[in-house]
Structure 1
Amino acid sequence: MSGRPGDAVRVRGVGKQFDLVGAVHDIDFAVPAGAVTALVGPTGAGKSTLLRIVLGLQQPTTGSVDIGVPGTGPGSVGAVLSPRGLHPERTVRDHLRCYAPLAGARRRRVDAVLAETGLAAIADTVVAQLHPGQQTRLALATALLADPPLLVLDDPFTGADSFERGWLHELLRSHVGRGGTVLMSSDKLADVVSTADQLVVLSEGTVVWQGTPAKLRRGHPDRLVVAASPSIALATALAAQGFTDAVMRPDGRLAVAEASESTIRSVAEAAQVRIGSIVTDPIHPDRVLASLTKPRRHRHSPPVQAANPAAFAPAPTSYGMPR
């Protein structure tokens, strides 16, 4: 596997209409090669529909998707979808051996993938006995059989405990480190914010925000909540020192971003403002996601004339960012 500069995936103006229900609307984003991009939003935001369109399993009603990874065969993209598509009575090893010929992989590749995904010790266990995190590992092992440059993963953190999440983070970062690209989805920002290089936030079938995790945090910083008397005098004194992001709360306390506790106390002393208490208020990533999105409501709209008449039926913590 080797990477190349540019975009691995480019989504332009994509919309998808199912009868009178618009699933996604005028979606534009790029997936840079050699990076992890996460589609994030509540259930029903359109994430799975978009991933299926990217994979060619559904055709968009409007717009287009361009794939820019090396190769054009089935080995160029590996996918993990929901449901995972695992036969409950097959063993882990037998499942991979069934799919290896389809991926153009030899039998020894099965053993390598078992080791890479940590499944070697349970290779003779039947799928029905695996917990959800192990089933996701097996689905991911299947996607890795052809060593594809692009991985497309639908909510890979579902059912994963903290150990599984850490393992998956390391595997995806390792894939990118070898020149690969990842496009994944999640209902929870907290699950992906430490892994992703780029976030695309969806709400009700549209993109409402996109950028890096660092940019998102700058717009939604952790705060120190200060009980001061008078609070307005402290806010004015902080603003004079360049700390303009201070919000007065209903209880009269001041929520201050970017300033340290020692700075706040120093400014308060100089302004002769009495400080009662200072407590931290770290913002959880999923609070940020809730502020950007809203639960999906079924939205009926007139059918859109497709550019291509062919149509497919619908398929049944704190941030902790290293970057």
Structure 2
Amino acid sequence: MTAVPPLAFSVRALTKRYGLVSAVENVSFTVASGSTAALVGPRGAGKTTIARTLLGLLEPTSGTAAVAGPGSNRARGDNAERDIGSARIVGGVLAPRGLHPSRTARDHLKVYAAAVGVPDGRVAEVLELVGLTEAAGTKGSALSTGQQTRLALATAVLGDPPLLILDEPMDGLDAAERGWLQDFLRRHTTRGGSALLTSESLAAVLPGADQVIVLNEGAVVYQGSPARLRRGHPDRLVVAASTPIALATTLAARGFIDAVIRPDGRLAVAEATEADIRDAAAAAQVRLDSIVPDLIHPDRVLAALTRPPSPAPYPGLAGPAHHPTPMPYGIPR
């Protein structure tokens, strides 16, 4: 029998309301230890609310949000124990990054090192870990967006926590910085750590995610592997043919059953190669006028799964994005 890995994060029937508005409604998901999960959705979908609840910065209206499994003393919500202790189990990165504009990266980390009780020697270690050794003397206001994110991450890992919760860590990063962060998280999970990150862009997090949870208006609309998500929204070849129905029939007989005739009369075929389509056309005596790829961008998939959030029911009523300002990110808990 295959052993079931322990849970890093467990959210059960989580609901968080602000007045009459639900930021999150009856959300449930789990994340296995040693993996990276991406919580994805448009602005106002409830991603940050869940991240802050897991970090203990928000209390749920109902349900639970637990780190290190539902049986740990790190649960938040119904029947959760409140003695969370001093063990450095989880580190968080929230927005805004909470950097003092006049404090250097090194001094910033020394302040947080003292707060969480780790020696100053750890500061040099985490600066090297995130690639900021040469920028250690640079003030927060002079750091690039990517460097600010790295410094936030360095703060979160000062206590070497096994669990990381990163809220919008890809925001404002270029492709190189996103690749670096994905590699960092891959190394973290290889060592047995776990991570949960949020994003408004599916494309930004898909390469490094073992699991994707898509939120829309505070509810889960997809949960599973990136591969299963892509199978439901595959890339296609779009074919202009003299008799698209005949071509589709021949393709189906050869096992390529996912073919859709579009409103313009062209046939959109998934999983088949151009050679497969040409062979089927020759067998069906169908003339081909063109074959063009239709590559489905991950954010098109996200748009298909979600929709813009509904307006507040009453003028001036605060919606999901309006909640109390949290404490600065980064103190490992």
Give 1:104 shift: 2.6
| Matches for 1:69-148 after TM superposition, within 5 Å | 73-148=86-161
Distance 2:61 2:210 in 1: 29
Q: Which amino acid aligns with 2:6?
A: G
Q: Which amino acid aligns with 1:281?
A: D
Question: Alignment partner for residue 254 of structure 1, among 267, 270, 274?
Answer: 267
Distance 1:129 1:233 in 2: 63
What SS does the corresponding residue of 1:147 show, helix, strand or coil? coil
Which stretches in structure 2 are left out of the alignment for 5+ residues? 75-84, 315-321, 326-333
Give 1:68 shift: 1.6
What SS does the corresponding residue of 1:102 show, helix, strand or coil? helix
Indicate the larger mover: 239-248 or 147-156. 239-248
Q: Which amino acid aligns with 2:44?
A: G
Tell whether 2:1 aligns with 1:21. no
Give 1:299 shift: 4.9
Percent of paired sites with the same residue: 56
Please name the residue that 1:320 is paired with. none
* Conserved 8 A contact 1:231-1:253: yes
| Matches for 1:302-317 after TM superposition, within 5 Å | 314-316=323-325
What SS does the corresponding residue of 2:88 show, helix, strand or coil? helix
RMSD: 1.6
Give 1:130 shift: 1.0
| Displaced runs of 4 or more, over 4 A | 69-72
Give 1:102 shift: 2.2
| Matches for 1:30-41 after TM superposition, within 5 Å | 30-41=30-41
Tell whether 2:288 aligns with 1:275. yes
* Conserved 8 A contact 1:22-1:300: no
Q: TM-score, normalised by structure 2?
A: 0.88
Listed one character per residue, the Cα deviations across residues 175-219 of structure 1 (whole Å, up to 9, x for unaligned) are: 001110001100000000001000000001100011000000111
Give 1:300 shift: 4.7
Please name the residue that 1:155 is paired with. 168
What SS does the corresponding residue of 1:29 show, helix, strand or coil? strand
Please name the residue that 1:64 is paired with. 64
Which stretches in structure 1 are left out of the alignment for 5+ residues? 302-312, 317-323
* Conserved 8 A contact 1:22-1:299: no
Distance 1:141 1:161 in 2: 19
Give 1:27 shift: 0.2
Report how many aligned residue pairs link the two structures. Answer: 302
Distance 1:256 1:299 in 2: 41
Give 1:40 shift: 0.1
Give 1:315 shift: 2.0
